[in-house]
């Protein structure tokens, strides 16, 4: 698994329960997608049954190993997919006792983690509630969807790759469950003297509508929206602006020189060049620069004379200089 696609799994490397739940979810979702293909279903049915028999005991609630919100959220969804509603609800009850709420919003978070993990955890809880499907579950799910909708960026995604994938899957699952068959509505948008509206009907309900406010905007802008008709729509406001940034300042001083190499007779060989690179960090004396990389591009036809490489020995200071030599054609 690519580390940057692991999401919260990367923060739970020592705990095998999240990885077990994640693997079970992947296989069960694949099994569900192949449900209409009888040949594929028969081929994987025995494997799935064996998998459930061996993994479900590992996902039973255990206070010593499952005291983590991410682990509980992932496990709750895995058990819900496996048809273990009672076991899944035990995890959901544990999660509800630790949920964050504000008015009609509901979500989960870990103080030591970033917003991407919060979105991913909350999305797994939403998937669990949609799968369980009771009226109370769907009421809680609606509050979660409202919170997730507020976390979307201007492009429709979220924070990173993994949380965006899970969040969109969860919102789509919720929408498919509660979506109405008939959509016919008008949304009126007003801002001062500006007025515009969008009409959404059944045949074009998946088409994105965009309304641009007149520019330049006043110091304060009040936007009012009024919806009329039947159906469900998501309204998102995006504000874009420019910020004057100071010109970048140099962090390093770099001096590069090259001279022809002289032979033993003191004659210069134009086919050989000696390149001298001197770099100096311009930060304060006790400030570290982190890792620095110097790339030297050679004129076509030249290659490095490895025997002539000369680096001052910084090992006694705890600093290492590494070479990476690669021919580029």
Q: What is the CATH number of the domain that holds 207?
A: 2.20.210
**CATH number reported for the structural domain that contains residue 49 in this entry:** 1.50.10.20
Interatomic CA distance for residues 144 and 178, integer angstroms:
14
What local confidence, expressed as pLDDT, does residue 151 receive?
Answer: 95
pLDDT beyond 80 at 74: yes
pLDDT beyond 60 at 179: yes
What local confidence, expressed as pLDDT, does residue 1 receive?
Answer: 45
**Token pair in block for residue 3:** 């580390």
Interatomic CA distance for residues 95 and 69, integer angstroms:
7
- Asked if 59 and 12 sit in the same domain, the reply is yes
Last residue of a domain, one of 143, 162, 178: 178
With respect to residue 72, please indicate whether it lies within any of the assigned structural domains.
Answer: yes
Print the domain residue range for 20.
3-178
Give the predicted TM-score (pTM) of the model: 0.68
- Asked if 90 and 220 sit in the same domain, the reply is no
Instruction: Count up the domains in the chain and report the number.
Output: 3
- Asked if 118 and 194 sit in the same domain, the reply is no
Interatomic CA distance for residues 144 and 167, integer angstroms:
11
- Asked if 203 and 105 sit in the same domain, the reply is no
Interatomic CA distance for residues 78 and 127, integer angstroms:
10
pLDDT confidence bin for 329, thresholds 50/70/90: very low
- The CA-atom distances, in angstroms, between 169 and each of 9, 87, 124, 202, 233 are 18, 23, 9, 22, 17
With respect to residue 146, please indicate whether it lies within any of the assigned structural domains.
Answer: yes
- Asked if 29 and 147 sit in the same domain, the reply is yes
Higher pLDDT, 169 or 216: 169
With respect to residue 296, please indicate whether it lies within any of the assigned structural domains.
Answer: yes
- Asked if 75 and 17 sit in the same domain, the reply is yes
Q: Are 18 and 74 in contact (CB under 8 A)?
A: yes
- Asked if 114 and 195 sit in the same domain, the reply is no
pLDDT, tens digit (0-9, with 9 covering 90-100), for 190-210: 988 889 989 999 888 888 888
- Asked if 19 and 165 sit in the same domain, the reply is yes
Interatomic CA distance for residues 212 and 224, integer angstroms:
14
pLDDT beyond 90 at 95: yes
- Asked if 18 and 128 sit in the same domain, the reply is yes
- Asked if 193 and 170 sit in the same domain, the reply is no
- The CA-atom distances, in angstroms, between 322 and each of 59, 280, 292, 326 are 46, 16, 11, 13
What local confidence, expressed as pLDDT, does residue 8 receive?
Answer: 57
With respect to residue 306, please indicate whether it lies within any of the assigned structural domains.
Answer: yes
pLDDT, tens digit (0-9, with 9 covering 90-100), for 4-27: 445 555 555 566 788 888 888 988
- Asked if 23 and 73 sit in the same domain, the reply is yes
- Asked if 173 and 93 sit in the same domain, the reply is yes
**Quick one: which H or E segment has residue 189?**
strand 184-191
With respect to residue 102, please indicate whether it lies within any of the assigned structural domains.
Answer: yes
Give the Cα-Cα-Cα angle 264, 269, 270 (nearest 5 degrees): 165
What local confidence, expressed as pLDDT, does residue 4 receive?
Answer: 43
Strand partners, 105: 102
Interatomic CA distance for residues 33 and 96, integer angstroms:
30
SS3 106: strand
């Amino acid at each position: 698994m690519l580390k940057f696609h692991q999401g919260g799994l990367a923060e739970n490397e020592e705990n095998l329960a999240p990885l077990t739940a994640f693997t079970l979810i992947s296989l069960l979702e694949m099994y569900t997608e192949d449900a209409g293909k009888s040949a594929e279903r028969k081929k994987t049915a025995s494997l799935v049954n064996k998998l459930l028999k061996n993994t479900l005991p590992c996902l039973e609630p255990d206070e010593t190993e499952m005291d983590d919100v991410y682990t509980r959220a992932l496990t709750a969804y895995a058990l819900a997919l496996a048809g273990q509603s009672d076991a899944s609800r035990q995890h959901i009850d544990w999660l509800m006792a630790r949920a964050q709420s504000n008015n009609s919003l509901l979500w989960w978070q870990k103080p030591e983690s970033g917003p991407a993990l919060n979105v991913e955890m909350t999305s797994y809880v939403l998937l669990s509630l949609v799968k369980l499907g009771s009226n109370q579950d769907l009421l809680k799910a609606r509050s979660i969807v409202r919170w997730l909708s507020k976390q979307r960026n201007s492009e429709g995604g979220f924070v990173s790759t993994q949380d965006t994938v899970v969040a969109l899957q969860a919102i789509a699952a919720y929408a498919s469950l509660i979506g109405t068959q008939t959509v016919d509505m008008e949304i009126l948008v007003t801002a001062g003297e500006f007025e515009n509206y969008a009409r959404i009907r059944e045949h074009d309900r998946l088409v994105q509508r965009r309304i641009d406010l007149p520019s330049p905007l006043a110091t304060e802008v009040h936007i009012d929206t009024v919806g009329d008709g039947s159906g469900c729509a998501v309204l998102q406001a995006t504000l874009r602006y420019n910020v004057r940034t100071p010109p970048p300042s140099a962090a390093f001083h770099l001096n590069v020189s090259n001279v022809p190499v002289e032979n033993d007779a003191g004659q210069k060989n134009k086919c050989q060049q000696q390149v001298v690179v001197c770099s100096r960090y311009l930060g304060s004396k006790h400030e570290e620069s982190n890792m620095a990389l110097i790339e030297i591009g050679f004129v076509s036809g030249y290659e490095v004379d490895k025997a002539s490489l000369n680096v001052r020995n910084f090992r006694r200071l705890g600093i290492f200089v590494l070479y990476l030599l690669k021919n580029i054609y």
